[in-house]
Amino acid sequence: MEESKGFNKEKMKNEISVLVAVLRTKKDFEILKKEGWYRIPRKHAPEYFDSDFIAFYFSNDFGKEKFTIRYFAQVLGYEVKKRIELIPDEPEHANANEDYYKINVAPLIELPRPIKSRLGRYIVFIPSTLKRLMNAVEVNELYRGSHIEEKLWAALRKAKIQTEREMVVNVDGNFFMLDFACLCKGGKIDIECDGREFHSDYPDVEYDKDRNNLLTKDGWQVLRFTSAKINDKLDECVSVIRETVAKYGGVEK
Give per-residue pLDDT as tens, 144-181. 989 999 999 999 999 999 999 999 999 999 999 999 99
Residue 210 belongs to a domain: yes
Shared domain for 53 and 73, answered yes or no, is: yes
Shared domain for 159 and 123, answered yes or no, is: no
Shared domain for 31 and 154, answered yes or no, is: no
Give the DSSP H or E segment for 104: strand 99-105
The CATH number of residue 133's host domain is 2.30.130.30
Residue 6 belongs to a domain: no
Shared domain for 87 and 202, answered yes or no, is: no
What pLDDT, on a 0 to 100 scale, did the predictor assign at position 56?
A: 98
Residue 253 belongs to a domain: no
Shared domain for 137 and 155, answered yes or no, is: no
Residue 3 belongs to a domain: no
82 within 8 A of 131, measured Cβ to Cβ = no
How many angstroms separate the CA atoms of 99 and 122, rounded? 24
Shared domain for 101 and 167, answered yes or no, is: no
Helix (H, G, I), strand (E, B) or coil at 247: helix
What is the extent of the structural domain holding 233? Answer: 147-247
Q: 92, 126, 142 — which closes off a domain?
A: 142
Residue 188 belongs to a domain: yes
CA 15 to chain centre: 18
pLDDT digits (tens, 9 = 90+) for 21-36: 999 999 999 999 999 9
The radius of gyration of the chain's CA atoms, rounded to the nearest angstrom, is 20
| Cβ neighbours of residue 107 closer than 8 Å, sequence gap 6 or more | 1, 2, 3, 4, 36, 73
The CATH number of residue 160's host domain is 3.40.960.10
156 within 8 A of 165, measured Cβ to Cβ = no
Q: How large is the average pLDDT for residues 91-104?
A: 96
How many angstroms separate the CA atoms of 24 and 16, rounded? 25
Residue 4 belongs to a domain: no
How many angstroms separate the CA atoms of 16 and 7, rounded? 12
